[in-house]
Structure 1
Amino acid sequence: MNLHLLVPALFWPDTGFPDIYRDLSLPALENLIAKCSSDEDESEGLEAWLCRALGVAKQQDWPVAPLTLLIDGAEDIKAGNDYWIRADPVHLHIERDQIVLADSRVFQISSQEAEELTGMLNRYFAASSQALVFLPLRPDRWYMRVTKTPAAKTHLLGEVANRGINELLPFGANQTFWRGLFNEIQMLLHSHPLNQLREVHGEPVINSTWFWGGGIMPESPSSPYTRIWSNNVLARSLALASHTDHIQLPPSAAMWQQSATSGHHLVVLDALYGKAQYADAYGWRESLKELERNWFTPLWTMSRQGLFSRITLTALSGDRSKNFTARRIDLRKFWRTPKPISIYAG
């Protein structure tokens, strides 16, 4: 059996904060990495890695929208050959001298609220020559099918979360239209009664949408994996598009082992990702401790028992990915002694 672990934000993104690793007890993870050979690549983030891994090429954007439509779309809503783009609800707020974006991981939005807000947008844009229609297929995942507007070049939502947006707005030849639309939507949402009510209740207002992940459905993605285990909607969508088995991520490696069969498995452990993006140092440390207990410790035991022909751990961090790979024979190399995890983070 081959196992590939994908762990976004395994290393804390701020290398100027080495104390984040102080007193972290991670013997299983450190022992496992010590037996591995390593290499480093450029990375554009979690969505880009998943697309590349399953044979999806970048268009102007990574085509997240038509892919996730496979999961979110109803029977009468299919990607077809149309251009689709995500237009997810977000909260913008001012920090110091910049406008910072927060996505739905830090606020709640109900189906009714999503319907109200997109209904208002659709009524407003009904007379537009661009024929824009917003589809809230999930409360926190909105879509637009674009038939008369040039495609956008955008930044992934994961690249923008908890960051200033001034330098991350749509760019390229068609940026004037998309930036203008972005500003117009802000003005419309700002004055909506629903947002006034949210403000009274102390909830973050939904005052913009973020355009990202536009494209047309890619042809025949191909997967090198026998099975994908994750709670990530894009991973699930790519599995469906490539006819690969997909199973929700179990709580632990022990439970995973009960269902895992021979083949090549991808396991996406993304519990650290949001904590790192939103600078939640305590939450990140606690989540890493939990991964050590529930995943790395039993996987280290399985590795020593010879369960894996090859085990690979890919850590995504900022614009880099670090790959740690061990074959069964490598696990017997006793001279490769463990080092603190902070050594690999630098």
Structure 2
Amino acid sequence: MARATFLLPAAERFGGQRLSATTAVALGRADRPPATQAGRRAQLLRHYSLPPGTWPIAALSRQADAGDAGTDAWLRADPVYMRPDINGVRLMAHGESMGMTRTDSEALLPALKPLFGDAGFALDAPAPSRWYLRMARETRIPAFADPGDALGDDVFEHADLGPDGSRWRVLQSEAQIVLHNHPWNAARAAQGKPPINSLWFWGAGTLPDARMRAHDAHPTACTGDPTLHALASAAGGAQRLPARYPGAAGDALFDLAAMRDLARLDADWLQPALDALRRGDIERLQLDCEDGRRFALERAHRWRFWRRPLQRLSE
């Protein structure tokens, strides 16, 4: 019998928005496993296995983007927008929110390649918003923070201040100078787009030697997130996220972590999945929130009349 798993944002992302009456009753009767580690990386690792202590997203996404990760080490060097303020420098945009195009990459990469080439690294961009450094397997690379975890923060809160980090801080500073002086950013500003004024290093590592696996036997993940897409591609399969719950089609994981409209989430995803659960089309519905909250719903839970409705996911 099929099972469905929904990855949701942290409950606080929905603020004071309330669940529909039907969904409130169903979630009030659900099992509530103890809350676990918060954060997007922790959320994804609850569903996909990687070698302990590793997070080789650069190699995994490189393999998904270009199929040539091989045995080299890889580091993401993604274009980002940082903004100085009175308290430091904040990361304001990265990834798809930068509105990157192939033309952007073709304009900026020639100016940056010599800088990294002199340091012994090859820089390229098989996807406009995902830039990569290829390096030898033995290269010592700090444990950089994911850009999603640093968004809106002072970037120095996430800097590696150890001896291995100093080399990369110098490279980042030199890249910032190149980007600041590049005339292409003026053209982007004229189009109302954020400037590409720095690079964010993260996700270092090599492809895992053993085939990855998905926990709970998710054969497919439906997502618009390139990080989850890379994980799912390595573990079995990734598909584009549909507009609403498509119904039972075997065990599947649906990535809804980017949603902020609880009414839409409720109408397009939670209620159709609860209907499928009541009909017996699926045997289990699991909700995994980025803040570590979890819900597990089964058909028999409808008899828990003594449980009070849950008005908000944050309760």
Quick check: TM above 0.5?
yes
Identity, % of aligned positions? 26
The 5 A counterparts of 1:147-296 are 147=136, 149-218=139-208, 219-223=210-214, 224-242=217-235, 244-253=236-245, 256-257=246-247, 260-262=248-250, 264-272=251-259, 284=260, 287-296=261-270
Aligned partner of 2:113 in structure 1 is 122
* C-alpha distance in 2 between matches for 1:232 and 1:306: 30
* C-alpha distance in 2 between matches for 1:305 and 1:26: 20
Q: Would the alpha carbon gap of residues 141 and 184 (structure 1) be closer, same or farther in structure 2, given more than 3 Å must change?
A: same
Aligned partner of 2:293 in structure 1 is 322
Q: CA deviation at 1:194?
A: 0.8
Aligned partner of 2:55 in structure 1 is 62
Say which SS state the counterpart of residue 145 (structure 1) adopts.
strand
Say which SS state the counterpart of residue 204 (structure 1) adopts.
coil
1:345 is aligned to 2:314: yes
* C-alpha distance in 1 between matches for 2:38 and 2:160: 16
For the 8 Å contact 1:83–1:151, the answer to whether it is kept is no
Q: CA deviation at 1:135?
A: 1.0
Q: Structure 1 unaligned runs (5+)?
A: 14-19, 273-283
* C-alpha distance in 1 between matches for 2:311 and 2:178: 51
The 5 A counterparts of 1:40-59 are 40-43=34-37, 45-59=39-53
Say which SS state the counterpart of residue 43 (structure 2) adopts.
helix
Q: CA deviation at 1:326?
A: 2.2
CA deviation map 1:231-268 (0-9, x unaligned)? 222322222212x2433221112xx11xx334x32111
Q: Structure 2 unaligned runs (5+)?
A: none
What's the TM-score once normalised by structure 1's chain length?
0.82
Query: Residue type matched to 2:12 in 1?
Result: F
Say which SS state the counterpart of residue 309 (structure 1) adopts.
strand
* C-alpha distance in 1 between matches for 2:90 and 2:65: 27
Say which SS state the counterpart of residue 220 (structure 1) adopts.
coil
For the 8 Å contact 2:221–2:252, the answer to whether it is kept is yes
Q: Would the alpha carbon gap of residues 240 and 234 (structure 1) be closer, same or farther in structure 2, given more than 3 Å must change?
A: same
Q: Would the alpha carbon gap of residues 337 and 304 (structure 1) be closer, same or farther in structure 2, given more than 3 Å must change?
A: farther
Q: CA deviation at 1:42?
A: 3.9
1:332 is aligned to 2:303: yes
Query: Residue type matched to 1:168 in 2?
Result: H
Say which SS state the counterpart of residue 226 (structure 1) adopts.
coil
Q: Which moves more between the two structures, 33-42 or 136-145? A: 33-42
Q: CA deviation at 1:183?
A: 1.3
For the 8 Å contact 1:225–1:266, the answer to whether it is kept is yes
CA deviation map 1:110-151 (0-9, x unaligned)? 21111221211113343x2x3122111111111111227422
Say which SS state the counterpart of residue 78 (structure 2) adopts.
strand
* C-alpha distance in 1 between matches for 2:162 and 2:46: 23
Q: 1:89 aligns with which of 79, 84, 87?
A: 79
* C-alpha distance in 1 between matches for 2:43 and 2:257: 13
* C-alpha distance in 1 between matches for 2:142 and 2:278: 49
1:310 is aligned to 2:284: yes
Q: CA deviation at 1:58?
A: 4.5
What's the TM-score once normalised by structure 2's chain length?
0.89
The CA RMSD over aligned residues, in Å, is 2.2
